[in-house]
Structure formats: structure tokens, C-alpha cells
């Protein structure tokens, strides 16, 4: 396992959990009256003013999970927050650092979700915290469309430099992944003068009206929310575990292209939008050759090839961007999540002539490229590069894949183990076949949660358990989380 560049940065959160022996320690009496249990500010008050106490990188449970304070907060939430907004594990977080989440009951949980692939640089990464703190004191907002600032420009320069391809590139910044995807489609339509957008089975691109149309899965993302935006066509994906027979990447691409030709015709297509490794759809890694063949077909037909790297980007898969695994150079690339260490920021980056095709004022938004988020992104990107977090993701991935593959030998409900870098998953099936077993995935995930490991599920069939640890996670902490996972799979 390669260490982070600066040995003192290996565990920048090292130390003790501040309130482990405080009022929430083992045996503490929990007073759940409205004034005490529900006022989480009392916990923050345990820290000296302005100080950020270091956080031990270890799992430590002092109550059941969720504990009484989380349960009380959950009741309050149920009365105040719309029921449509879900939470995977309703423990209410008070602090986080590196690969650890600390809840209001004082439980320290291992984070294998990174807030859905966001805090790759670690939660509350010290460099991000410092940059944000400095920026927030200087100014919080002007609106780049009114009076601009350097941070926005510097983030665009970094994206233009880091994304695949040596051609001239330009970027525009937004707030969320869905917004970036919408804007990539706007750019592609404007540049080509065409309407149609092609996406794939199992795709996830967001929850806005256009991106709901582009997302494949009905529940919970689309049901009852139509009508959806038009001119969106869906092609078959390369999903090696679920193919009827052996099919190469090139053959799977030819199958997809035939469907596109039949449905709409290449001449009508503005953009093909694809996740190089599908995220919400089940961590689907296409057969080698699939992505390059689709990209080449786009080039030949004047179609804008858009790589949605919102989940795969910024080192997650062992390289800075997942397209690099197969030498694919997208015309446009959408990014978000891992870009800014937890602050909301998203981008479209791509060929300068495409990005510049849109008339002045045609792209933007009040908050897009907020200065605080840009400061966070510059610090996060510096941490990724300086500490070689893509290299670290590769090492973490090897550790996780080896462990999961050996687990699969003894547990026939694990039908497939797959992933790249620190984006790893296993698919639960009824033993002896490929029939999805969502209940088994939910059982294992719930057992991990009870034991203090935050895991996420995904997949069109809800039967995939995915591992997305922060790229800075301690190897020992990750190994402990995998031990917990192994016990959960075994039903111990």
C-alpha cells in the first residue's frame, strides 16, 4: 500500500475522538428530553472555540446504531422533512474526518460511501478546510456572471489540464451533477444543431427533468414524475455479468449502434452520454473495447461523445478519469462529486470549439462556480495530485477486490465481484444462477450498519453492494471494515 506523500498527512485526523469519554461514553445516561437530546450544539460546545480536534481513525460504538439521539432526531425529521427525501442510514452526523463519521450518540463509524463518492480526499480534509475558511472570510459570493473572480478561472484551468486529451479545452462550472449533464446536452445540441440524446440501459444521470429522462431506473427516480423531456433514446449497455452469452466489447458496441440507428439514426444524434463505469446502475464495468468503439462511431458521425464522470472522476477508479483506462478522449466530460472535497460544485469540460459554440449568456446560473466551492476544489485537486490519490485508489481497489474474491469462493450468493480502483462492488444473486437477490444485499448492508460500517447498495435490481471509501482511508481501517463485511456476508 503506497503511503500518502507526507507521512504526517497519512492520518491528519489522528488523535482521540473528543467526546468518547464525555457525556455520550459507554454507560452514559441518555436524557431524551427535547432540550437536551435534540440540541446537538451541546456536543460542538465540547470543543474549544474555533478548534478542530483531531479525529481518531477507528470504529468505536457506544450505543446501538442508530442510537437514541439519532432516533430522536429522526422523529423530528419525520415531522419536518418531506418523506420523499430518503436516508440510507439515519445516524445523524456531528463530525467527520478522513474515513470516519461520528454521530450524535458518539459512535464512530467507518465510511465506505464517501457521501456517494464525494469526499475522496477525506472528510474535512485539512487543506480543504483551510482553503474554505480563508475564502469564506474574504467573500462568499458575487456571482461569476456579475463580477468574476480568479478561483473560478483557476478551477477551469485545472480541469482543462487534468481531463483526458491534449486538445484546446474550456470549462463551465455549475452546482450539481445533474446540472452539469443538462449543460453538456445544451452545448452538444447548440454545437451540432441536432436534438437527439442517446443514453444506455442502467444509466443514472440525475433527477432534473431532462436527466430523469436520461436515467434508466423507474423506482425511485422517475415513477410519477413525468412527462419527461423528449428526444432521449436508450441503447443496450455492455454488462458482462448479465450477457446471455460471450460478447466482446466491440460486438456490444455494434449491438448498441444498431439500436440507435433503428430508433433515431446517427444523423439526428447530438450527443451520446455514457458513464465509463456505471454508478447507481450497479458499478457496471463494460467489456474492454466497448467505450472506444462507441466513441469512434460518434467521431465518424459528428456526434458529441460525453463521458459522465460525475461518480468515476477525480482518482476514484485508480486514474484521474475513468476514460483513461481505455485511452478514450471524450469531446465533453461532466464532473461533480469528488471535485471539491464535499462542497457543491460541478463542471462541463471539453473541446474549446464545442464549449465556445454557445452564445454569450447561454450558460450559467446564480451560484455556479461559487467562490467557496472553487477554493475547496483547488485545495482538493492539489491534494489529489500531490498525494497521488489515483495511485492510492488503485492500491485500495486491489485490497478490496482480493478480499471480496476470496469471500465469493465460500459464499455462492456473491455472483460477481467487479470494479476499478476504489470503486468496487459485488452482486448478490440466488445461488446457482444470476437471478438478483436484493433482499440479501439489503440484509448484508443492514448488518454492516449495525456494526458501524457505512455501506451503500445500488443497481437496477437493487442487489449490488458498493464500496466507495475515501481515497485517504487508513489501510487498517479499511481492513477492519472488510472484516465486518465478511462477517455480515457469512451471517455471523
Residues near ligand PMP, by CB under 6 A:
116, 176-178, 181, 204-206, 275, 279-280, 308, 310-311, 336
Give the span between the Cα atoms of 47 and 31, in whole angstroms: 21
- The C-alpha atoms of residue 285 and residue 288 are separated, in whole angstroms, by 9
- Measured from the CB atom, is 202 or 242 closer to ligand PMP? 202
Q: Beta-strand (E) ranges in 345-398?
A: 346-351
| Nearer residue to ligand PMP within complex by CB, 182 or 440 | 182
Q: Which is nearest to 317 in space by CA: 422, 388, 391, 395?
A: 422
Nearer to ligand PMP, 275 or 287 (CB): 275
- Half-sphere exposure for 349 (CA within 13 Å, toward CB): 29
Alpha-carbon gap, residue 304 to 365, rounded angstroms:
23
Let me know how long the chain is: 492
Instruction: Decide: helix, strand or coil at residue 216.
Output: coil
156 vs 339, which CB is nearer to ligand PMP? 339
Sequence-distant (≥ 6) Cβ neighbours of residue 326 within 8 angstroms: 276, 288, 289, 291, 292
Cβ-based nearer residue to ligand PMP, 30 or 228: 228
User: How is 352-393 classified by DSSP, letter by letter?
Assistant: HHHHTTSPTTSS--SSTT-HHHHHHHHHHHHHHHHTTHHHHH
Query: In whole angstroms, what is the distance from residue 92 CA to residue 101 CA?
Result: 10
Q: Looking at beta carbons only, is 311 or 413 nearer to ligand PMP? A: 311
Q: How far is CA 168 from the centre of its chain?
A: 27
Nearer to ligand PMP, 66 or 279 (CB): 279
Kindly state the smallest distance separating residue 306's Cβ from ligand PMP, in Å.
Answer: 11
Tell me the closest approach of the beta carbon of residue 217 to ligand PMP, in angstroms. 12
We find the least distance from the C-beta atom of residue 304 to ligand PMP, in angstroms, to be 17
Which residue, 206 or 369, is less far from ligand PMP as judged by CB? 206
Please give the Cα distance from 343 to 373 (Å, whole number).
5
Closest distance to ligand PMP from the beta carbon of 179 (Å): 7
DSSP assigned state of 451: T
116/399 with CB nearer ligand PMP: 116
Q: Which three cell numbers stand for residue 434?
A: 444470476
Nearer to ligand PMP, 284 or 447 (CB): 284
CB 174 to ligand PMP: min, Å:
9
Shortest Cβ distance from residue 281 to ligand PMP (Å)? 9
Run of H or E residues at 100 = strand 100-103
| Shortest Cβ 284–ligand PMP spacing (Å) | 11
Q: Among 186, 177, 233, 175, which residue's Cα sits nearest to residue 205?
A: 177
Comparing CB distances to ligand PMP, the nearer of 203 and 485 is 203
Q: How far is the CB of 423 from ligand PMP (least distance, A)?
A: 11
Instruction: Work out how close the CB of 376 gets to ligand PMP at its nearest, in angstroms, rounded to a whole number.
Output: 15
Q: Which residue has the cell 456473491?
A: 414
Degrees to nearest 5, angle at CA 148 with 147 and 150: 150
Distance (Å) of CA 67 to CA 57, 73, 79, 94, 402: 20, 10, 19, 13, 33
Tell me whether strands 232-235 and 196-200 are parallel, antiparallel or unpaired. parallel
Task: Give the CB-side neighbour count of residue 473, counting CA atoms within 13 A.
Answer: 35
Closest distance between ligand PMP and the C-beta of residue 369, in Å? 15
Nearest-CB residue for ligand PMP? 177
Q: How far is the CB of 406 from ligand PMP (least distance, A)?
A: 29
Amino acid at each position: 500500500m503506497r503511503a500518502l506523500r507526507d507521512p504526517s498527512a497519512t492520518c491528519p485526523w489522528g488523535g482521540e475522538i473528543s467526546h468518547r469519554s464525555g457525556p455520550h461514553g459507554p454507560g452514559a445516561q441518555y436524557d431524551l428530553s427535547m432540550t437536551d437530546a435534540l440540541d446537538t450544539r451541546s456536543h460542538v460546545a465540547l470543543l474549544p472555540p474555533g478548534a478542530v480536534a483531531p479525529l481518531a481513525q477507528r470504529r468505536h460504538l457506544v450505543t446501538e446504531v442508530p442510537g437514541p439521539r439519532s432516533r430522536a432526531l429522526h422523529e423530528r425529521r419525520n415531522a419536518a422533512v418531506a418523506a420523499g427525501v430518503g436516508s440510507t442510514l439515519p445516524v445523524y452526523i456531528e463530525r467527520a474526518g478522513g474515513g470516519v463519521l461520528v454521530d450524535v450518540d458518539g459512535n464512530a463509524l467507518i465510511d465506505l460511501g464517501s457521501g456517494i463518492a464525494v469526499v475522496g480526499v477525506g472528510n474535512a480534509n485539512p487543506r480543504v478546510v483551510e482553503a474554505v475558511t480563508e475564502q469564506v472570510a474574504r467573500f462568499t459570493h458575487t456571482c461569476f456572471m456579475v463580477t468574476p473572480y480568479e478561483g473560478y478561472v483557476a478551477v477551469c484551468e485545472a480541469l482543462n489540464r487534468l481531463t483526458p486529451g491534449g486538445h484546446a479545452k474550456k470549462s463551465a462550472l455549475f452546482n450539481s451533477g445533474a446540472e452539469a449533464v443538462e449543460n453538456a446536452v445544451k452545448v452538444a445540441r447548440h454545437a451540432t444543431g441536432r436534438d437527439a440524446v442517446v443514453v444506455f440501459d442502467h444509466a443514472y444521470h440525475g433527477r432534473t427533468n431532462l436527466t430523469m429522462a436520461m436515467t434508466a431506473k423507474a423506482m425511485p427516480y422517475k415513477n410519477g414524475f413525468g412527462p419527461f423531456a423528449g428526444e432521449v433514446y436508450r441503447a443496450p449497455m455492455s454488462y458482462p455479468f448479465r450477457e446471455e452469452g460471450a460478447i466482446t466489447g466491440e460486438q456490444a458496441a455494434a449491438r448498441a449502434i444498431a439500436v440507435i440507428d433503428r430508433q433515431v439514426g446517427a444523423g439526428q444524434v447530438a450527443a451520446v452520454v455514457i458513464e465509463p463505469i456505471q454508478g447507481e446502475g450497479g458499478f457496471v464495468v463494460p467489456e474492454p473495447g466497448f467505450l472506444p468503439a462507441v466513441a469512434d462511431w460518434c467521431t465518424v458521425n459528428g456526434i458529441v461523445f460525453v463521458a459522465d464522470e460525475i461518480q468515476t472522476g477525480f482518482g476514484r477508479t485508480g486514474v484521474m478519469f475513468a476514460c483513461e483506462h481505455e485511452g478514450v478522449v471524450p469531446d465533453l466530460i461532466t464532473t461533480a462529486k469528488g471535485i471539491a472535497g464535499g462542497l457543491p460544485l460541478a463542471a462541463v469540460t471539453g473541446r474549446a470549439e464545442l464549449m465556445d459554440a454557445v452564445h454569450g449568456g447561454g450558460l450559467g446560473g446564480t451560484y455556479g462556480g461559487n467562490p467557496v466551492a472553487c477554493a475547496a476544489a483547488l485545495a482538493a485537486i492539489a491534494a489529489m495530485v500531490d498525494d497521488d490519490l489515483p495511485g492510492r485508489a488503485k492500491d485500495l481497489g486491489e485490497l478490496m477486490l482480493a478480499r471480496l474474491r476470496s469471500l465469493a469462493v465460500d459464499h455462492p450468493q456473491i455472483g460477481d465481484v467487479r470494479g476499478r480502483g476504489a470503486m468496487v462492488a459485488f452482486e448478490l444473486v440466488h445461488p446457482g444462477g444470476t437471478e438478483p437477490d436484493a433482499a440479501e444485499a439489503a440484509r448484508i448492508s443492514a448488518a454492516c450498519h449495525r456494526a458501524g460500517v457505512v455501506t451503500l447498495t445500488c443497481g437496477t435490481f437493487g442487489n449490488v453492494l458498493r464500496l466507495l471509501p475515501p481515497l485517504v482511508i487508513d489501510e487498517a481501517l479499511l481492513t477492519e471494515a472488510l472484516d465486518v463485511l465478511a462477517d455480515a456476508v457469512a451471517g455471523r
